[in-house]
Amino acid sequence: SRSDIDSLQSLLQQSEASRAKQEQQLLAAEEERRSMMRQIEDMRRQQTALQSQFSRSRQDLLTQLEARLNSIEQLRSELDNEAKSHGDTNEKLEAEKRAHKETQEKMVQGEKQVKQLQDQLAAEGRDKAALQKQLEAERKSRLHILS
């Protein structure tokens, strides 16, 4: 019957429309899936780039730190050498001070000894003068006795 045909045709049209709509939805879903896959690939590339950048930055920082550590070690070594040199200089200065003090003490002792010798020489000179006077007096006395 005609109504059955119309009804079937209507169902067929609805089915085709539904099918077309589903195909449209399927195409849209496929396009969305491709778009998401592109986004995922972009994100993976970005992640890889970030990891590479991080690795380079980390390596650069490690290199800088190592250079700074080497610089610090070199400075520490120079400071140690300076401290040792300073210590050696102080020891030499102390030795010079001791030697100077010993020399001063020897000079004082020498001056005392010179003073003692001068005093002794002066005393011997006085003794000699006294003995010469005594000798002269005895000679005069003998001459006087003889004459």
Mean pLDDT in order along the chain per 10 residues (147 residues): 90 94 97 98 98 97 98 98 96 98 98 97 96 93 83
Residue 120: CB atoms within 10 A of its CB come to 10
Residue 147: the pLDDT is 72
Residue 110: is it exposed, middle or buried by C-beta count within 10 angstroms (0-12/13-18/19+)? Answer: exposed
DSSP E strand stretches across the chain: none
Both structure tokens of 137: 């007096």
Q: What CA–CA distance (Å, rounded) separates 135 from 35?
A: 145
Q: What CA–CA distance (Å, rounded) separates 147 from 137?
A: 15
pTM recorded for the entire structure: 0.47
